[in-house]
């Protein structure tokens, strides 16, 4: 079940999290990064389902059997982007070299007062989009996410930057999408992640890395109802302090024929999945779905 | 079958049509059953589509800022009352 990640018990205790946070804030990023090695090793040893999921994904994208050190690098990349959220949220973007590709895809729309949907994935860091956007006050942004996911860690991140926390529109409420409609009508950009099909949510089958996987239909359905442009975004961690933030227009309008709604939606979501694959291949270790992504029964 | 008032039936038809519901006919919607989740099983995107349908047909704008929006969308009966009051 792909919704396992929601219920998955968070690993690491609040104390350990607080300790790492203290180290990051007082001893700096370089020093805190040293701790990523033992953390990676710990997860490599203890988190078997995640390790298997990593291996399964890496086998596909690398086109060869993944080694234990491939998996270690994958986990290390994941841990790095989580640690970096601390610095991004604390408005220390100057620690990073963030290269933005085609940001005008979004800014031009916002300047015209046109709201839009930003569609991302659990590929790389969404914080590299969000925190600088809020801290620099350049992009009116809301982000749709499930509340309480990774509860301890979200609490800590919220304390770090309450203003960024306020950008969250909680998913799962009856009026969630009405809020999105209001935000978009106000000329805001609403970001969401479109790669995890959860529970009973409507999904469509798309090819990803050569095999069919379930993707949520919600984001494209929402775009078709709102009649607004959809822009893909991914913030890839390229090692060290380097991030590459890509924007790419997926659609000016997502047009779905009511008579063949599912088939039309599938085409749009497949377009998203294809571009996701393109970016995943640029930086394979940025894929942060540590569960059986291709599970048929999900 | 349920005893729907004429207005309830009209709103029920709007629900079925604007959401393209195939498994249920308008007259089969129980007036007091929940529209979302357990009842008719609508989701948040359905709520949005339905609100657009209501705006189109009755000129009534439902926004998330309206504090009672959850209450309005509780059931066919509450939704119909809101529409009657405001159109």
pLDDT digits (tens, 9 = 90+) for B41-79: 888 999 999 999 999 999 999 888 777 888 999 999 999
By the 8 A CB rule, do A237 and A283 touch? yes
What is the pLDDT at residue A160? 86
pLDDT for A1 = 37
Among the four given CATH numbers 1.10.1200.10, 3.30.750.24, 2.60.40.1180, 1.20.1250.20, the one describing domain B6-86: 1.10.1200.10
Q: What residues of A are in contact with residue B69 (Cβ under 8 Å)?
A: 175, 178
Angle, alpha carbons A65-A71-A77 (nearest 5°): 135
pLDDT in the model for residue A93: 86
| H/E segment holding residue A101 | strand A97-101
| Per-residue model confidence as pLDDT tens digits over A84-96 | 999 999 888 889 9
B45 closest CB neighbour out of A173, A179, A218: A218
298 residues of chain A, pLDDT tens digit each? 344 444 455 555 678 778 888 898 899 999 999 999 999 999 999 999 999 999 999 999 999 999 999 999 999 999 999 999 999 998 888 899 999 999 999 999 999 999 999 999 999 999 999 988 888 878 999 999 887 655 777 788 888 888 888 899 998 888 999 999 999 999 999 999 999 987 767 899 999 999 999 999 999 999 999 999 999 999 999 999 999 999 999 999 999 988 898 999 999 999 999 999 999 999 999 999 999 999 876 5
pLDDT of residue A16: 77
- Best B20, B45, B49 residue to mutate vs chain A (most A CBs within 10 Å): B45
Contacts of B20 in chain A (CB under 8 A): 258, 261
Chain B contacts in chain A segment 119-138 (CB below 8 A):
none
CB contact under 8 A, B48 and A182: no
Nearest to A85 by CA among A243, A193, A284, A247: A243
How near does any CA of chain A get to the CA of B35, in Å?
A: 10
The tokens describing A215, both together, are: 């993707």
Give backbone dihedrals phi and psi of B2, rounded to 5 degrees, phi first.
-120, 155
| Predicted confidence (pLDDT) at residue B39 exceeds the cutoff of 80 | no
Mark yes or no for CB contact A175/B44 under 8 Å: yes
Model pTM score = 0.91
Whole-complex ipTM = 0.90
Shortest CA gap A248–chain B (Å) = 25
Cβ contacts from A onto B, under 8 A: 48
Interface of A with B in 164-183 (CB under 8 A): 171-182
Q: What is the pLDDT of residue A148?
A: 66
Q: What is the chain B residue with the closest CA to A201?
A: B43
The answer to whether the beta carbons of residues A196 and A210 sit under 8 Å apart is: no
Q: Which of A147, A177, A219, A226 to mutate to test the interface with B (most CBs of B within 10 A)?
A: A177
Q: Look up residue A259 and give its DSSP letter.
A: G
Distance from CA of A222 to the nearest CA of B (A): 6
- Hey, are the CB atoms on A225 and B52 less than 8 Å from each other? yes
Q: How far apart are CA A255 and CA A225, in angstroms?
A: 9
Amino acid A125: pLDDT = 96
């Amino acid at each position: 079940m792909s919704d396992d990640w929601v219920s998955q018990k968070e690993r690491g205790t609040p104390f350990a999290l607080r300790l790492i946070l203290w180290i990051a804030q007082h001893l700096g990023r370089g020093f805190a990064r040293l701790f990523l090695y033992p953390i990676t090793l710990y997860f490599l040893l203890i988190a078997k389902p995640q390790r298997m999921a990593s291996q399964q994904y890496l086998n596909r994208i690398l086109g060869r059997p993944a080694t234990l050190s491939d998996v270690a690098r994958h986990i290390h990349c994941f841990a790095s982007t989580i640690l970096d959220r601390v610095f991004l949220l604390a408005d220390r973007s100057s620690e990073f070299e963030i290269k933005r590709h085609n940001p005008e895809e979004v800014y031009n729309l916002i300047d015209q007062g046109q709201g839009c949907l930003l569609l991302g994935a659990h590929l790389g860091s969404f914080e590299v989009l969000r925190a600088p956007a809020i801290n620099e006050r350049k992009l009116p942004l809301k982000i749709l996410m499930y509340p309480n996911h990774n509860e301890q860690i979200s609490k800590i991140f919220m304390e770090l930057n309450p203003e960024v926390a306020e950008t969250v529109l909680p998913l799962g409420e009856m009026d969630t999408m009405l809020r999105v409609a209001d935000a978009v009508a106000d000329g805001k950009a609403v970001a969401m992640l479109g790669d995890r099909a959860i529970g009973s949510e409507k999904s469509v089958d798309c090819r990803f890395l050569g095999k069919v996987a379930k993707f949520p239909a919600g984001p494209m359905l929402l775009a078709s109802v709102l009649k607004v442009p959809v822009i893909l975004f991914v913030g890839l961690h390229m090692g060290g302090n380097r991030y590459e933030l890509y924007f790419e227009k997926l659609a000016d309008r997502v047009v779905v024929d009511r008579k063949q709604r599912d088939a039309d939606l599938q085409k749009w979501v497949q377009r998203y999945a294809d571009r996701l694959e393109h970016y995943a291949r640029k930086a394979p270790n940025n894929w942060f779905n540590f569960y059986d992504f291709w599970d048929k029964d999900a | 079958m349920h005893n729907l008032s004429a207005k309830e039936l009209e709103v029920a038809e709007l629900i079925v049509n604007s959401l393209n519901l195939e498994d249920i006919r308008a007259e089969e919607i129980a007036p007091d059953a929940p529209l979302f989740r357990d009842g008719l099983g609508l989701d948040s995107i359905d709520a949005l589509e339905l609100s657009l349908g209501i705006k189109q047909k009755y000129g009534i704008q439902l926004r998330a800022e309206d504090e009672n929006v959850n209450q309005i969308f509780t059931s066919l009966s509450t939704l119909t009352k809101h529409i009657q009051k405001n159109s």
